[in-house]
Structure 1
């Protein structure tokens, strides 16, 4: 109905201070024009916009901030303006927010530069601009009571608004530990406004337990047709993980601006030459210039794409009569506590099946989610983690779970790191349960980690895609000694690797096949003498 065309026509009237085109005309290249038409063209019969959320995943250097500046002016001065509208852009921090703000202000000043000379007073300048630019608060006031403000993601004032336009810039780097609260508050405010629009512009991030991955993954599912949602427009310029990152044809496919001279092709070539010999530079190149989503750890234990091959579902009921080994990692205070059960895979030699039971303190669950940057409340709701009463994990509940597992499965051993576990081990032993020590030092854990690594790489490690366990594996940073022995440690102080440690312990005990139960604990007693 002409809405897409009128949006394009308005943007073509804008002037950008860095444009090399005649009269500093806005550089709306064909790929960007197509995006504008797809956002603003499709309409319902009443004229309201079909697209409510546009997710733009594009590598650095493709001028996405410039494009969102034009979109902002569409809603501030152009045909999408509505009296009294609140327009908000949220960036990583104050510096980044200022950059978005300057894009918008620069185009307003571009119009003013070509306006007739009407004087230099603040009032006449604002009149010529058609807006009041308040640089010190990153705010612009337009006629009709329309206000635009650029905010940092960690600003408390980002909440409590009812924006008709949200520009969410580089959400993979938003500073709040778990920015879902901010995201939810902004989206809830926008839902109160008719015909609101959210535009997400970002490069690839790292890890999967974060807001950015959730947003991008949802857009991917819409793009693939797995989810039917006409209100979400996925615009995803990303390369597959297994793509040849040195292929310049791939660079052009993923960077829509390259055909028009940006980003700089020679600069990309130099970065690629360095990345070929520097693994750390390679991950940076893949992430920021090819939008290949990275694993969370900078020094990963295994590639998470290989780990994810073991996400096939299985039924615990089918394993009730199979030999089972448990490993327990007890938390010192507010960390995760986990029990991991391991079975030898009956369908493949040298394979393992594992399943975890996680526990965390119930008090301040949302604050803990912000601290660790993961959705503890959602995991608890979906049954992937059990919150126990209080502000520390209740070991009595953990012990009851161990006893229940021993009743349900053919448990041969329960391996504990004796640190923090003495009381529980003694109690279980007194009641006839096969509790054993397995210290988490180099001598014990290096062979365990080696066996775990072998199973994962060989595709013989089935975990069912448990999200908390995956997060633990994704957090692992590896320390290797001169003999090639590996040890797990946290990449950051807030990362949790407890599930991965317990999985290594359980796999190691299952691999050795040790059974510490007394012969008198079984009904299947062998004939003959028992000598010791």
Structure 2
């Protein structure tokens, strides 16, 4: 029979109670005990224990036993993926480095095996490598004579174990070549800052080529939902809650709910497992709490890095994204055929992302139908730069990738014509910037094109209408992932009179869909009367009826 931990019953809570409840962890062949003993024999240059012994605290020991103890009928390790989500200061890097050495010079090593530290860039990957190097060099009697450390400036960072041909190596997403890997162990460090998924795919595909391989994801909470880290963590949450049964994945998730009392020491201690052993600093936490009371930036930093609350992209958001998500139910757009709609268009630079959003109004309810466009050439590279998967979005129909390295204006114009064929288009509102190539043919053909100014006078009342619809639950978007990403990126700027405008320079990424949405919703709001919601007569300029 397979030796596995007790199956978890479904729960909304992802807290790893098994670390503290003393439930037996199967270890039929003793490999869990073997791993613990190896780690205890290591040394650490910063250790305060006798003879610099590596400090393996009880919560860490339980994790190690849960990884290496359970085995299948053939004696193979059951766990192949570990997802550790823990706040900063809990020594996850030290534990990860020790686990890597277990696979490089310890009893879990594979002859000729590749052990990889992977991170978003060489600097980040170097942090974990520094931990491993320090552990090796702290044991001058046993480890220094049998290993070779390569750590020259601007060259490969490696720890080699020549007698068995095993190497620990640092690689990063910004490395020129990452293909052809067949690792036996991978540490994916601080996954929340990885941009794109290319390195992730290379490494996970490589792990699949090796029997008994192990992937350890060790990260702090991140921002946004359109990244590989959120995808990995969300699946781990489902496993922790018992919604998915997958004994090959071990979730170790120390995180707080978004509405947790950040000033509560009880909350802090619960999600910082090292707090019972003197780290991270309780005094430092109190100081951070005091700063957070007066600073939204410090509060976000406290929530993300010390309470492990997964935040949205923007540090000055337009709306709470949990409230926004209430409008994600599927929409039957075919049922709207022939209905009046108002269209907002935001044309970006020809190499970026452009948006066309149609808005339908039913009393106080607004339903939007978004369309996005980007150039097809180098689409994966563009996605890596923006930290999203344009390729997948294009495949799933959420983005239209037009041929070439610039957005095809004709494709955008055709999209608008298609909307006019299916619905009663009342107005097509454009931000005039970069829009002439799409506007001109539509004006010539007699479509109801208007330009909408983008300043305080226009945006502030429009954003009020949009915000009111979202908060009241009257904004339906069908869960369109690109539009959600755009909304999560928005930062808002206020003037002395509390007028609001989208702060483009502080918005974290693309926001074209939000611009198109506020234009469409605001024109729909004014569409059933002769009055505009804007106070200024120049807010909207009619080009053609």
Q: Which residue of 1 aligns with 2:455?
A: 441
Q: Does 1:332 align with 2:349?
A: yes
Secondary structure, aligned partner of 1:244: coil
Q: Does 1:227 align with 2:244?
A: yes
Alpha-carbon offset, residue 10 of structure 1 = 1.9
Q: Is the 8 A contact 2:345 2:431 kept in 1?
A: yes
Q: Which residue of 1 aligns with 2:110?
A: 82
Q: Is the 8 A contact 2:347 2:434 kept in 1?
A: yes
Q: Which residue of 2 aligns with 1:120?
A: none
Q: Is the 8 A contact 1:358 1:384 kept in 2?
A: yes
1:114-136 CA distance string (max 9 Å, x none): x6xxxxxxxxx843xx2222332
Structure 1 65/395 Cα, relative in aligned 2: closer, same or farther at 3 Å?
A: same
Of the candidates 214, 219, 222, which is equivalent to residue 202 of structure 1? Answer: 219
- Larger proportion of helix: 1
Alpha-carbon distance between aligned partners in 2 of 1:185 and 1:490, rounded to the nearest angstrom: 34
Alpha-carbon offset, residue 157 of structure 1 = 4.7
Q: Which residue of 1 aligns with 2:175?
A: 155
After superposition, where does 1:75-474 map in structure 2 within 5 Å? 75-112=103-140, 126-127=144-145, 130-136=146-152, 137-142=156-161, 143-174=163-194, 177-178=195-196, 180-345=197-362, 349-422=363-436, 424-474=438-488
Alpha-carbon offset, residue 432 of structure 1 = 4.1
Alpha-carbon distance between aligned partners in 2 of 1:407 and 1:49, rounded to the nearest angstrom: 59
Q: Is the 8 A contact 1:475 1:490 kept in 2?
A: no
Structure 1 259/331 Cα, relative in aligned 2: closer, same or farther at 3 Å?
A: same
Pair member with larger Rg: 1
Of the candidates 64, 83, 89, which is equivalent to residue 92 of structure 2? Answer: 64
Secondary structure, aligned partner of 2:103: helix
Structure 1 420/202 Cα, relative in aligned 2: closer, same or farther at 3 Å?
A: closer
Alpha-carbon distance between aligned partners in 2 of 1:491 and 1:39, rounded to the nearest angstrom: 45
1:289-339 CA distance string (max 9 Å, x none): 011112112222122222222212211122224321111222331122221
Alpha-carbon distance between aligned partners in 1 of 2:333 and 2:55, rounded to the nearest angstrom: 59
Alpha-carbon distance between aligned partners in 2 of 1:424 and 1:155, rounded to the nearest angstrom: 40
Q: Which residue of 1 aligns with 2:21?
A: none
Deviation larger for 495-504 or 36-45: 36-45
1:89-134 CA distance string (max 9 Å, x none): 1234444333322322222233325x6xxxxxxxxx843xx22223
1:33-90 CA distance string (max 9 Å, x none): 1111111112221112111111101001101111112211211222211211111112
Structure 1 220/95 Cα, relative in aligned 2: closer, same or farther at 3 Å?
A: same
Alpha-carbon distance between aligned partners in 2 of 1:514 and 1:496, rounded to the nearest angstrom: 31
Deviation larger for 101-110 or 205-214: 101-110
Alpha-carbon offset, residue 235 of structure 1 = 1.0
Alpha-carbon distance between aligned partners in 1 of 2:208 and 2:51, rounded to the nearest angstrom: 39
Structure 1 377/492 Cα, relative in aligned 2: closer, same or farther at 3 Å?
A: farther
Q: Is the 8 A contact 1:352 1:460 kept in 2?
A: yes
TM-score (norm 1): 0.89
Alpha-carbon distance between aligned partners in 2 of 1:135 and 1:361, rounded to the nearest angstrom: 41
Q: Is the 8 A contact 2:373 2:412 kept in 1?
A: yes
Q: Which residue of 2 aligns with 1:526?
A: none
Structure 1 134/435 Cα, relative in aligned 2: closer, same or farther at 3 Å?
A: closer
1:371-405 CA distance string (max 9 Å, x none): 22210000001110111122222222222221221
Deviation larger for 260-269 or 419-428: 419-428
Q: Does 1:506 align with 2:526?
A: no
Runs of 4+ in structure 1 off by over 4 angstroms are 491-494
Secondary structure, aligned partner of 1:47: coil
Alpha-carbon distance between aligned partners in 1 of 2:399 and 2:345, rounded to the nearest angstrom: 15
Secondary structure, aligned partner of 1:257: helix
Q: Does 1:48 align with 2:76?
A: yes
Alpha-carbon distance between aligned partners in 2 of 1:422 and 1:112, rounded to the nearest angstrom: 70
Q: Which residue of 2 aligns with 1:30?
A: 58
Secondary structure, aligned partner of 1:393: coil
Alpha-carbon distance between aligned partners in 2 of 1:493 and 1:239, rounded to the nearest angstrom: 26
Q: Is the 8 A contact 1:54 1:233 kept in 2?
A: yes
Alpha-carbon offset, residue 263 of structure 1 = 0.6
Alpha-carbon distance between aligned partners in 1 of 2:444 and 2:127, rounded to the nearest angstrom: 66
Alpha-carbon distance between aligned partners in 2 of 1:324 and 1:41, rounded to the nearest angstrom: 61
Structure 1 99/387 Cα, relative in aligned 2: closer, same or farther at 3 Å?
A: closer
Structure 1 280/126 Cα, relative in aligned 2: closer, same or farther at 3 Å?
A: closer
RMSD of aligned C-alpha atoms?
2.1
Alpha-carbon distance between aligned partners in 2 of 1:418 and 1:85, rounded to the nearest angstrom: 58
Structure 2, unaligned runs of 5 or more: 1-27, 531-545
